[in-house]
Structure 1
Amino acid sequence: MNAVEIEQALSELAEKAFVGAEFPFQFLEAFGNKATTIARLRKGDSNNSDLPGGVLQRNHIHIAVAEPGQVGQTLTALKASPKTAQAKAKFILATDGTTLEAEELATGDAIACEFPQFPDHFGFFLPLAGISTIKEIKDNPIDVRATGRLNKLYIELLRENPAWATFERRPDMNHFMARLVFCFFAEDTDIFPGASLFTTTVDRMSERDGSNVHEVLETIFRAMNTKTEDRAAAGLPRWATEFPYVNGGLFSGSTDVPKFTRTARSYLYQAGQLNWRQINPDIFGSMIQAVADDEERGALGMHYTSVPNILKVLNPLFLDDLRAQLEAAGDNKIKLLNLRKRMAHIRVFDPACGSGNFLVIAYKQMREIEAQINRLRGEANLASEIPINNFRGIELRDFPAEIARLALIIAEFQCDVMYRGQKEALTHVLPLDSQNWITCGNALRLDWLAICPPTGTGVKLVGDDLFNTPLDQSEIDFENEGGETYICGNPPYLGSTWQTKDQKSDMAAVFEGRAKNWKLLDYVAGWFMKAAEYGGHTQASAAFVATNSICQGQQVPILWPAIYATESQIQFAYSSFKWANLASHNAGVTVVIVCISREPRRMKSLFSPGENDSSILKEVENINAYLVSGPSYIVEPATRNSNGFAEMVRGNTGYDGGHLYLTPSQLRDLELTKDQRDRFVRQVYGSDEFINGSIRFCIWIEDEYLDEALAIRGLAQRLEAVRATRLKSPDPGARKMAARPHQFREMNQSESHLLVVPRVSSEGRPFLPVGLLPAPNVISDRNFALYDAPLWNLALIASRLHWVWVGTVCVRMRTDFSYSNTLGWNTFPIPTLTEQNKADLTACAQEILLAREAHFPATIADLYDPDTMPDDLRRAHEKNDETLERIYIGRKFKNDTERLEKLFDLYTKMTAGQAKPKKGKAK
């Protein structure tokens, strides 16, 4: 269940007659517990509560129904219960049907309320459904409640009006929903005169069966689009003239409203009963956006970026500087005035704005700073000098664009109420600003300078002439001479494999002529390139959330030389962290934050993840494309090992349709003799076989034994299937291989042993799972191998130094390492090794292998689980790390940051004369 469904279920539970014996089970059902789970608790099979009438769900909650007036005492008994601790309950809850109290045991957070009000605290209990709570939800549940009510209404209206669900009419439906949101907000914040004017009018003027609701709403909308002096001529009924003139584009155009049913009317009324004054535009926009998105509706209440994450972008981009200037100004009124004037000319531009989260938070933060300036200058009630249309965005879809603009309008009004008072705010809110500062269009096709120009007036929102992008946008008469522009946002990521034909075309428009192999780039790279070019025309800095893959592996040599060519540099960055949303079961994508600009900072800010979502800041002279302190070298793939060590090659590729591979049972079915098995079959290791210990075999036939193999019916049938598969392949190389169906594309095998490195392995393991296999075993193309290489090579690959290098310069799949021989092994910087160094490392490799052997038959997956890794194996790796790191610097490194800085320093020296730093000139 999602957050909206849980809130609705708890609200329905609170409205029912309280039955003490049933409440604990009804409460748990509201959080999505299965009927079988509830049945077991009822029978007592899984209920170990030691309190009368108590229900204890292991790892979750201990509930007890109290005697009247005994709720506090019952909660104390729940907390003291040994069963609560034994079952590792996260929450305790007691109620008598009149009041309710609960506590989260880990934090000590508690709630106490009248029973009918406990759904207001649904955010407190969301961990019971596997959903991590966010402070904004716990403090202000109205956003989820409003989303739920609107979602019910939206679904019911589309059911009754299927034509409104079509591609042609969906924009009308979404525009209608935006109008409703404004009306609900306006009637609860006195923008409309009289209490609950909108909801009350609809209730009074419409039939209970909903048959004329659409006519009532159409009339109200028409009134809000008609100026006062024109209303008599418009023939509006007297009851509609109570509504003020709003327009601003929100009520212009068609006033069509979908037909209502009795149920839809009820949902509309229920939505109006909420207190919309408390709506938080920081997150509400993303939630309401999900209502109109069929794919996202299943996760309602989870579709927003948390404020702390957004501030990771905005604070170092420009807000921290504004606050520093405010502190430096002290009570100097001239300095304060200059800062206020500067802020009035700052533009914040999000070219992938969605429902406006970044823009709304930037606006609210700037208004807070401005309010402090005004207080210090003795001008507390002064009108804001920060224009709302300085906060500009581009959004591909029409509804999020409309919601973004509405969210900014709501944020502006709320800030006016907070800093100037309700009376002053109301005098300026209507009519709404008719300027259209959120552009609906394709950000990679639009001319950003036309949307957010460096200077001048008469801004026309149009697409690039080359593509003739159609945009029906109004003209903005807007003076902003000499202002700074800060570009920010969370653009769509989309790896190259998942990009549509149109998105590939977008990328071509941005990168052709600027970068080779651009088809391998993530979609988000297009925003970085556009921002870098924008910065060549005006004073601007851009900070985006992006997949960490644009700062790793093969994408770095493609993207970053093109960025550096614009003379842009990385000004600050956050290294990889989880950008998670509200759902804990949706771990979120691993991202970085990167700021680029031609305006150099003397020192750059490099942030790395700390504990409890904190960040560790390090001021450095330069940040390279791998988000490491050091020169801006680009690590290019190398075809040969830079140290002259053994060559690492990819495993053997089948192109066989699976017919060259055998499970143990398939091998038995062939009924081969021992000699035939030794001659025609090898045990084969892919990454799964190597890491998880599964067993698989492969057909391995040398040319000289082919005739003998073909005489065996089972083998002959398999080889014919391989031949047929290869002939059908669209790959010319595969079709050519049909002439030798008895063999893999490569037939690499060792004489004595091979060192194996899986191509993909989990970042969760503290070391790369390199291993040793004896001949005649073979490996598939899911692994890399060093054939008959000295054992000290294993010590290098198993080291923490190699782990951090691979994690930085190789491609990642989510947070997993995707190993590359050309990037991971061939470029790995290693000091000159003496024979004694090699002997010491060989001894370390042997200790690692012996420690693994001592735990046979544990697999690599078992041995390298970070929570259960055997102590002797961990000690062997620690000794290996210390031995190798002393070769590098004479001691152990302090941390991974120091390791990377040394590795990049060595790489710079190792490649001196081969490549030059890819660093733009300082402006």
Structure 2
Amino acid sequence: MNAVEIEQAITDLAEQPFDPAVFPYAFLEAFGNKATTIKRLQVGTTNKSDLGGVLQTSNIHILTCDAGQVTQTLTALKSSPATVRAKAKFVLATDGVDFEAEDLTSGETVACAFKDFPDHFGFFLPLAGISTVRQISENAFDIRATSRLNRLYVQLLKDNPEWSTAERRHDMNIFMARLIFCFFAEDTDIFIGKGRFTETITQMSTRDSSNTHEVIATLFRSMNTKREERTAANIPRWAEEFPYVNGRLFSGADEVPRFSKIARSYLLHVGGLDWTRINPDIFGSMIQAIAEDDERGELGMHYTSVPNILKVLNPLFLDDLRSRLEEAGDNQRTLLNLRKRIARIRVFDPACGSGNFLVIAYKEMRAIEAEINLRRGERDRASDIPLTNFRGIELRDFPSEIARLALIIAEYQSDVLYRGQKLALAEFLPLRNENWIVCGNALRLDWEKVCPSENNTVRLISDDLFQTPLDQTEINFSNEGGEVYICGNPPYLGSTWQDSYQKADLQGVFAHRCKSWKSLDYVAGWFMKAADYCARNIASAAFVSTNSICQGQQVPVLWPLIFSTGSRIHFAHTSFKWANLASHNAGVTVVIVGLSASPPALRKLYTPDLEDKFDGMILKEVDNINAYLVSGSNTIVEKASKPLSEQSEMSFGNKPVDGGHLLLSASEADALGLTKAQERRFIRRIYGSAEFIRGLERYCLWIDDQHLNEAQSIPTIHKRIEGVRSMRLESRDKGANEMAQRSHQMREMRIGTKWTIVTPRTSSEGRPYLPCGLIDSNSTITSEAFAMFEAPLWNMALVASRLHLVWVATVCGKMKTDFRYSNTLGWNTFPVPTLTEKNKADLTRCAEDILLAREHHFPATIADLYDPEKMPADLRASHERNDEVLERIYIGRRFKNDTERLEKLFDLYTKTTATTGKVTPRKTSSRRNA
């Protein structure tokens, strides 16, 4: 369950009659406990309570009590020996009137009326495995509002099925946007009298809800009619007190869907919330899921935390503004110039969704401006920062309008905060008619027309709430000479997951530049267009992206093109988790990359502080950040056909091309009915990635040419050889057709005469080391693994090192969350210093120690041994020793962290390729016109 679903479940629970015997189990069920778990607690199998309550191990101890005994009961729960033994994180006591609970880890408490305990649902979210509790607790209102709006939205579509069609969904979105504004306006005195909108609907609509739609339509029509025109427009007296809003919000059609009694009830419940607590910076990003059928199942998971957004905005431009403010002190002229500069800054999000990046940027800039006004003695001064300087592009109409609405709300809240409610109200209505959030395809629009840095004037005023100009030059509001900062979190979508329309989007951006664009992630289009924009304007950009664009084979395709525009990486956050509100959600691994055509002398590189429990970052200022987000020159790692250093050659394993006839399970091998001598001659153990890592048994037919006649004489083998022949002859691949002449063999027939060092092609990123190892001369490998035949054992020590893992993770990239090993890109390019014979002997001993430690835990598999939570101490120690020996060869000591490892490896790679001439670093100073 996600946070929104949990909030709804406990709200339903609080509204039901209190049953002391049922409540503890219903409470646990509301937080996602399965029916089988609840059943075991009910029958006492897992209930550890010593007080007659319900105690779930490692979770919570709940006890209902007699009236007036809640505080005493909570004390008893805390003192209970069972609470301690079961390591309960929470205790909870209630009598159905009062409600008290305590987090035994932090000491935080909740004490409220029973009916109000859903207001504190965020307090208990660790029970559901949700760790982003602080952010949820701070924004509990937004989650509750989203939940209730969703129930209303779904019910209205049920009551009005024609409104759920593609033709009418647009009208439904308009209606929801209007409702949200009214709920906010009635609780913030924009409408005179708190709750006036909801109260009017309650009073003027009948209980059977038959005229609810007419009442709401009348209110909307009133808000779209100037006061002096209301008599002629036949606005009834009960609706005349509502102000004229316009700003396109209530213009156009005023049709409202019909309400059932249930929908009317939901509407009044939504209106009963305290909308002064809305956070426009995150509310919109959650509510947009309401209007998207394919996203409603993920409701509540669209939350992006403010700290994460600030990881983009702070180094992009906000840190600079704050430092200029600090430098200004109380110098009036300097403060005035800074205020003028801020007023001309444009923030542009070309994948804005519901506008959370834009809203955060606006609120942070208003805070800086307010401090300037305070120092200048102009506290009540109207803001010089126009909302029209916060531009966005969004593909879908509902989020694009929510973005504009969120900015309007943010402006009002900022005015109340910095100027007082009286001045804020005086200037808020009527809303302006300009539209500065464009609904369209960002990869097909001209960004310089959507967000120009030159002076133009607005020409478009539309009556349609969602209409955006087809000629984008029509939204160019005056803003002469300002800076532009491009930011956001564009859609990622790897090449495999892109549809034909998205492929066409990328083709339009890249096809005239290079031939390899089809391998790029969808987000690469935003980076390329941002680089082009920055090359022609006073602008910088920063996007959140999956780390795949800074790894592996995408780097040689994308980054030379970006660097050719003159843009450089002026700050970056290396890989970290960008989590949302889903329970048990690890979040997607992302990077943040900032681009600028005029970067500062020192670039800011942020890396996660692994010792910080609160996702802290370590800042390092460096001369340059390369495409792999490593301090160093802009060298691009290219595939190499042979190792650049002295390590042994690594090749693919054997590709069967057999239709499944040469590869055998253990039972299939037995079914061949071979003698022991025939088994030794014709059967080999074979390993791919899965077989090597998980210890799976797999075999293959291995028939040397001199033994073919004997093999053909064995009926079970002959049948399989003929199966291979038929498969290859029927293939459309000419190479496979030619291989039919030797149907008794795989395409390659490589096997070590002494041993083979094996490295799987695919392995989990969760392991502390890359899996590798040794197989004997009676075993071979498939093309799902790489082999070094007869290679000296010190090569295995290199593969098994932390140094090699971080290199492969950076230059080879991943398939989903798995490492995708490459011999040409990961092994052949791996820079190794010249090794002495002693170095090789020491590394050989390290590899032997690793193998002996594994053998000590036989029959444990690689998967068992390298589980990060269960790795045996002796095996871990042998790897630590291997790392120490190898790293001392590189720098005479252990590296401090992976960042330092990568910096050294890239430095050595650059020097090695410059010396050998095998790979020439990309030149990035000149423009490419491919």
Same fold, TM-score > 0.5, yes or no: yes
d(CA) in 1 for partners of 2:3, 2:900: 43
Counterpart Cα distance in 2 of 1:300 and 1:828: 45
Q: Greater CA deviation, 205-214 or 386-395?
A: 205-214
Maintained 8 Å contact 2:449/2:476: no
Q: Which residue of structure 2 aligns with residue 760 of structure 1?
A: 762
Q: Deviations over 1:836-885 (max 9, x none)?
A: 22122112211111111111111112222222222222222222222222
Within 5 Å, which residues of 2 pair with 1:212-251?
212-251=211-250
1:295 aligned partner, one-letter code: D
Q: CA distance change for structure 1 residues 834 and 31 in 2, over 3 Å: closer, same or farther?
A: same
Deviation of 1:530 after TM superposition, in Å, equals 0.2
Q: Indicate yes or no: 2:7 matched with 1:20.
A: no
Matched to 2:909, the amino acid is Y
The 3 A distance-change label for structure 1 pair 660 and 236 is farther
The answer on whether the counterparts of 1:132 and 1:583 sit within 8 Å (CA) in structure 2 is: no
- Counterpart residue number, 1:915: 920
Deviation for aligned residue 1:267:
1.1
Separation in 1, partners of 2:725, 2:174: 59
In the aligned structure 2, how far is the partner of 1:40 from the partner of 1:171?
Answer: 48
Alignment of 1:132-143 (within 5 A): 132-143=131-142
Return the alpha-carbon distance in structure 2 between the equivalents of residues 531 and 411 of structure 1: 27
What is the CA deviation profile of residues 589-623 of structure 1, one whole-angstrom value per residue up to 9, with x for unaligned ones?
11100001001201000000112211000011111
Task: Check whether the contact 1:569–1:920 (CA below 8 A) recurs between aligned residues.
Answer: no
Greater displacement, 790-799 / 239-248: 239-248
Counterpart of 2:464?
Answer: none
Specify the SS of the correspondent of 1:168.
Answer: helix
- The answer on whether the counterparts of 2:640 and 2:824 sit within 8 Å (CA) in structure 1 is yes
Which residue number in structure 2 is paired with residue 681 of structure 1?
683
AA at the equivalent of 1:45:
T
SS in 2 for 1:169: helix
Q: Conserved in 2, the CA contact under 8 Å of 1:285 and 1:407?
A: yes
**Secondary structure of the residue that 2:100 maps to in structure 1?**
strand
**What CA distance in whole angstroms lies between the structure 1 residues aligned with 2:336 and 2:746?**
75
The answer to which of 713-722 and 124-133 deviates more is 713-722
1:31 corresponding residue in structure 2: 31
- The TM-score with structure 1 as length reference comes to 0.96
Tell me if 1:597 matches 2:618.
no
For 1:520-599, list aligned pairs within 5 A: 520-599=519-598
Call closer, same or farther: CA 1:43–1:634 in 2, change over 3 Å. same
State the Cα distance separating 1:119 from its structure 2 match: 0.6
Question: What is aligned with 1:271?
Answer: 270
Change (3 A) 1:573 1:548: same
Q: Could you tell me which residue of structure 1 aligns to residue 9 of structure 2?
A: 9
The answer to whether the Cα contact below 8 Å between 1:352 and 1:489 also exists between their aligned partners in 2 is yes
User: CA shift at 1:131, angstroms?
Assistant: 2.1
Which of 841, 846, 849 in structure 2 is aligned with 1:847? 849
Q: What residue number does 1:417 align with?
A: 416
* Range with bigger deviation, 651-660 or 913-922: 913-922
Structure 1 stretch displaced more, 287-296 or 220-229: 220-229
Deviation string, structure 1 residues 443-494 (Cα, Å, up to 9, x no partner): 00000000100111136899xxxxxx98387933521111111100000000
**Distance (whole Å) between structure 2 residues aligned to residue 753 and residue 476 of structure 1:** 70
Q: Is 1:372 the equivalent of 2:377?
A: no
Shift of 1:366: 0.8
**Matching residue of 1:782:** 784
The answer to whether the 8 Å contact 2:450/2:476 transfers is no
Distance 1:740 1:15, change over 3 A: same
Partners of 2:525 and 2:260 in 1: how far apart?
Answer: 46
Equivalent AA in structure 2 for residue 243 of structure 1: F
State how far apart, in whole Å, the 2-side matches of 1:624 and 1:434 are.
44
TM alignment of 1:872-891, pairs within 5 A: 872-891=874-893
Alignment of 1:225-624 (within 5 A): 225-458=224-457, 471=470, 475-476=474-475, 478-610=477-609, 611=612, 612-624=614-626
Unaligned runs of 5+ in 2: 462-467
Partner of residue 93, structure 1 = 92
**Distance (whole Å) between structure 1 residues aligned to residue 711 and residue 913 of structure 2:** 50
Match of 1:235, SS state, is coil
1:489-524 Cα deviation digits (max 9, x unpaired):
000000011111111111111112223311111111
Deviation at 1:729, TM superposition (A): 4.9
- Cα distance between partner residues in 2 of 1:27 and 1:891: 55
SS of residue in 2 equivalent to 1:120? helix
Distance across 2 between alignment mates of 1:738 and 1:427: 86
| Aligned-pair CA distance for 1:44 | 0.9
Aligned residue in 2 for 1:43: 43
> Which whole-Å deviations, capped at 9, do the CAs of 1:268-293 have from their partners, x for residues lacking one?
11111111111111111011101111
Distance apart, 1:204 and its partner CA: 2.2
Question: The residue matched to 1:389 in structure 2 has which SS?
Answer: helix
Q: CA deviation at 1:736?
A: 4.6
CA–CA distance in structure 1, aligned partners of residues 170 and 720 of structure 2: 57
Q: Please state if 1:832 is matched with 2:837.
A: no
- Which residue pairs with 1:166 in the alignment? 165
Distance in 1 between the 2:253 and 2:659 partners?
58
| Structure 2 CA distance for aligned equivalents of residues 706 and 161 of structure 1 | 74
**Is it true that 1:665 corresponds to 2:667 in the alignment?**
yes
**C-alpha distance 716-460 of structure 1, shift in aligned 2 (>3 A):** farther
- Structure-1 separation of matches of 2:66 and 2:712: 83
**In structure 1, C-alpha distance between the alignment counterparts of 2:91 and 2:411, rounded to whole Å:** 41
> Which residue of the other structure, out of 681, 685, 698, is the alignment partner of 1:696?
698
Q: 1:400, CA displacement in angstroms?
A: 0.8
Letter in 1 for 2:206: E
Per the TM alignment, residue 804 of structure 1 is displaced from its structure 2 partner at its CA by: 1.5
2:206–2:212 Cα contact (<8 Å) kept: yes
Structure 1 position 582, deviation (Å): 1.1
For residue 234 of structure 1, give the secondary structure of its aligned residue in structure 2: coil
Q: Is the contact between residue 456 and residue 480 of structure 1 (CA under 8 Å) also seen in structure 2? A: yes
Cα RMSD of the aligned pairs, angstroms, is 2.1
Give the drift of 1:733: 3.8
Partner of 2:76: 77
Query: Residue in 1 aligned with 2:189?
Result: 190
In the TM superposition, what is the alpha-carbon distance from 1:640 to its structure 2 partner?
1.3
Contact 1:352 1:443 in 2 (8 A): yes
Which stretches of structure 1, 4 residues or more, deviate above 6 A after TM superposition?
none
The separation in 2 between residues aligned to 1:214 and 1:740, in whole angstroms, is: 78
User: How far is 1:413 from its partner?
Assistant: 0.8
Q: Give the letter aligned to residue 37 of structure 2.
A: T
Deviation at 1:761, TM superposition (A): 1.6
Q: What is the CA distance between 1:528 and its match in structure 2?
A: 0.5
> 1:247 corresponds to which letter in structure 2?
N
Query: For residue 465 of structure 1, what is the aligned residue in structure 2?
Result: none
Identity %: 66
Q: Tell me, which stretches of 5 or more residues in structure 1 are unaligned?
A: 463-468
Match of 1:862 in 2: 864
Question: In the aligned structure 2, how far is the partner of 1:224 from the partner of 1:267?
Answer: 23
Which amino acid in structure 2 is aligned with residue 842 of structure 1?
T
What TM-score comes out, normalization by structure 2 length?
0.95
Aligned length: 915
> Once the two structures are superposed, what CA deviation does each residue of 1:177-222 show, in whole Å capped at 9, x if it has no partner?
1111111111111111233222122222223222222222222222
Q: CA 1:185/1:879 → structure 2, altered by over 3 Å: closer, same or farther?
A: same
Measure, in 1, the Cα distance between the counterparts of 2:339 and 2:145: 36
Of 78-87 and 368-377, more deviation after overlay is shown by 78-87
For residues 730 and 355 of structure 1, the distance between their equivalents in structure 2, rounded to whole angstroms, comes to 49
Given that residues 461 and 471 in structure 1 are in contact (C-alpha distance below 8 angstroms), is that contact kept between their aligned partners in structure 2? no
Give 3-state SS (helix, strand or coil) of 2:167's partner. Answer: coil
After TM superposition, give the deviation of residue 917 of structure 1 in Å.
4.4
Structure 1: how far apart are the matches of 2:454 and 2:45?
Answer: 73
Deviation, structure 1 residue 88: 2.5
- Is the deviation greater in 700-709 or in 621-630? 700-709
CA offsets 1:683-727 (integer angstroms, 9 cap, x no match): 111111111111111233334444544444444444454455555
Q: Pick closer, same or farther for the CA change 1:729–1:341 going to 2, 3 Å.
A: farther
